[in-house]
Amino acid sequence: MGGWYPAGSGAVQAAVPLPITSDGRHAILSPDDPMSEPTAPTSDLRTAPLRLAPLVLMAFMLPWEFLTVLAVYEEKTFRFFDTLVTATPSDVAGVVFLVLSGPTVWRRVIDARRSPGVHLVGWLLAAAAVSYAFNPTLRGLSLLIRLAVVVVVVLEVAAMPRRRARMMVAAPLVAGVAVAGVIAAIQIVVGGRIGILGEQSVFSVAGPFVRPSGTSTHPYMLAGLSLVASAVGVAFAGRRARPLWIAATGLAAIPLGLSFSRAVLVSFLLLVPLWMFAWRNDPGRHARPLVAVLVGFAVPALVFGQGWLARVDDSLTTDLDSISSQRLEIARIALEIIGDHPVVGVGPWNYALASEPEYEDGTLPSPVHNTVLLITAEMGVVAGVGYVVFLALLAIRIGRRRPAALALLAAPFGLWLFDTIPWFYPSGLLLFGLQVGLVCSLIPAGPRRTPGGGEAPVAAGADAVTA
């Protein structure tokens, strides 16, 4: 997969005050009780609008990836993120949220100690910190900062009741990707840029059509956003979902039909049966948003079907390594790096620099297009195994009774398997944090402690049970 620098840059808009529901901060109760109505401390209620506004802004601004380059390895000529230290509007919002949440982080860690999502992101942060100690770089430091943001985001969102998570995180994410979907549709119609901030200067093509990226740094990044936002739209729909929610969910799915990506198709084929189970379990909640997603994907895929046919033709008329865009050769290089650095890897976000000697013919190094292999190469075998184990534990915790929540966790599966969206892309890493937090907010409650020290069963509530 190739990449290119964004053409535009920009500044973060000021966040506007957002309404807060009266349920207060959930984290002071049982970490697994998403439907309870706690009484939050007065200080938390007063500071909630200020503290949560950057979180809302971060979710909405993820598709707007106009970058500010903070540092460049000038002796290198790589493209894309490989040797850049960058910041996006969502990065700035995330750091602000991290700073504002700092005083309450330890209490939230104690409250969420049983959450598998917190274990997952905490493991990644710890593994990255250990690897960074042996392989320090500016890019590695920027990854550590983003991972710290991810941990705090998961701590916050996982502790929210479903309704609050929908308002504060799910709705802004779906709305932002819906706008990006409209932009992408216009780009493919006009055949390139439409003159808005953050667009790319160069577009790749599939058959006779450009592959639109909206205001994201790459079409696959937009596709990853679309997969997660579509799954969020289905999982967080209310029993009386408003037409605006249904419409936004459908618009957010448009980039899937315009991605011309086989990895996206793998993800979508996995999601459809999970969504069908969700529909069967609770048709009143999931039917309309699911139809909106299917229409949002199918209509642009049919209208611009020649792009998909061109991809099929490529797959049938070239050798296996060409079909996979040299992924097999890239994987071979990654396995050699893992064999040479099995304990702490080559350093977080340091793969491109470490793999440079393998490209003696002048070809630009490319990250291995498998998220598990990339994490293992950068941070060691134990880190990679732990990543897979904690993901599996989170999936087990969701269970088969919550197919919409499981679909949300599995949404970018094809991009985990055949690309690096959840790790290599800065916005992809933040998206992963929002995704894990939202999944955890859908996990039903377990027993909570009574004042006498025993356990009292807590009903999960209809919203959580059928998610």
Section 237-251 average pLDDT:
92
Q: Which of 460, 348, 440 is nearest to 398 (CA)?
A: 440
Give the type of residue at 67. Answer: L
Stronger pLDDT, 217 or 7, i.e. the higher one: 217
Per-residue pLDDT, 360:
59
Per-residue pLDDT, 151:
95
Stronger pLDDT, 115 or 54, i.e. the higher one: 54
> What are the tokens at 260?
């011309």
pLDDT at 110 over 90: no
pLDDT at 309 over 60: yes
Confidence of residue 146 (pLDDT cuts 50, 70, 90): very high
Confidence of residue 296 (pLDDT cuts 50, 70, 90): very high
Per-residue pLDDT, 324:
55
Per-residue pLDDT, 19:
40
pLDDT at 40 over 70: no
Backbone angles phi, psi at 71, to 5 degrees: -155, 150
| C-alpha angle 77-201-177 in degrees, rounded to nearest 5 | 110
> What are the tokens at 17?
């005050």
Phi-psi region of 191 (alpha: psi -120 to 50; beta: other; left: phi over 0): left
First to last CA, the chain: 35
Confidence of residue 252 (pLDDT cuts 50, 70, 90): very high
Stronger pLDDT, 170 or 200, i.e. the higher one: 170
Least confident of 226-240, 296-310, 422-436, 443-457: 443-457
Quote the longest CA-to-CA distance of the chain: 70
Q: What is the DSSP string of 287-341?
A: HHHHHHHHHHHHHHHHHTHHHHHHHHHHHHHS-HHHHTTTHHHHHHHHHHHHHHS
> What are the tokens at 368?
């291995």
Q: Under a CB-based contact definition with an 8 Å cutoff, are residues 255 and 453 in contact?
A: no
Residue 294 burial (CB < 10 Å; 0-12/13-18/19+)? Answer: middle
> What are the tokens at 109?
């860690």
Calpha distance 66→222 (Å, rounded): 13
pLDDT at 327 over 90: no
Confidence of residue 368 (pLDDT cuts 50, 70, 90): confident
Contacts of 457 by beta carbon, 8 Å cutoff, 6+ apart = 447
Per-residue pLDDT, 74:
53
pLDDT at 355 over 70: yes
Calpha distance 119→187 (Å, rounded): 40
Confidence of residue 6 (pLDDT cuts 50, 70, 90): very low
Confidence of residue 225 (pLDDT cuts 50, 70, 90): very high
pLDDT at 80 over 80: no
Per-residue pLDDT, 420:
86
Contacts of 112 by beta carbon, 8 Å cutoff, 6+ apart = 27, 31, 118, 155, 158, 159
The conformation of residue 72, written as its DSSP 8-state character, comes to E
Count of all residues that appear for the chain in the document: 467
Give the type of residue at 247. Answer: A
> What are the tokens at 12?
């973060």
Q: Which of 461, 416, 434 is nearest to 232 (CA)?
A: 434
Contacts of 319 by beta carbon, 8 Å cutoff, 6+ apart = none
**Domain regions of the chain by residue span:** 39-465
pLDDT at 193 over 50: yes
The conformation of residue 115, written as its DSSP 8-state character, comes to -
Per-residue pLDDT, 129:
98
Chain position carrying tokens 């005083």: 103
The conformation of residue 200, written as its DSSP 8-state character, comes to B
Q: How far is CA 362 from CA 77, 340, 357, in A?
A: 10, 22, 10
Confidence of residue 113 (pLDDT cuts 50, 70, 90): low
Q: CB-hemisphere CA count at 13 Å for 421?
A: 29
Per-residue pLDDT, 50:
83
When the pLDDT of each residue in the chain is averaged and rounded to a whole number, the result is 81
Output the CA torsion 320→324→325→328 (10° steps): -80
Section 313-323 average pLDDT:
64
Pairing mode, strands 205-206 and 209-210: antiparallel
* CB atoms near residue 393 (< 10 Å): 14
pLDDT at 36 over 80: no
Least confident of 81-90, 125-134, 184-193: 81-90
Confidence of residue 149 (pLDDT cuts 50, 70, 90): very high
Give the type of residue at 317. Answer: T
| C-alpha angle 55-372-351 in degrees, rounded to nearest 5 | 85
Assign 205 to helix, strand or coil.
strand
Confidence of residue 341 (pLDDT cuts 50, 70, 90): very high
Calpha distance 264→269 (Å, rounded): 9
> What are the tokens at 111?
């409250």
Section 165-170 average pLDDT:
95
Stronger pLDDT, 185 or 24, i.e. the higher one: 185
> What are the tokens at 229?
């936002």
Least confident of 255-259, 323-327, 418-422: 323-327
Enumerate the β-bridge partners of residue 310.
none
Confidence of residue 22 (pLDDT cuts 50, 70, 90): very low
Calpha distance 150→430 (Å, rounded): 6
Stronger pLDDT, 453 or 163, i.e. the higher one: 163
pLDDT in tens, 433-464: 999 999 999 986 554 444 444 444 443 333 34
**Please, where are the H alpha helices in 241-281?**
243-252, 254-258, 262-281
pLDDT in tens, 371-427: 999 999 999 999 999 999 999 999 999 877 789 999 999 999 999 998 888 898 889
Confidence of residue 86 (pLDDT cuts 50, 70, 90): confident
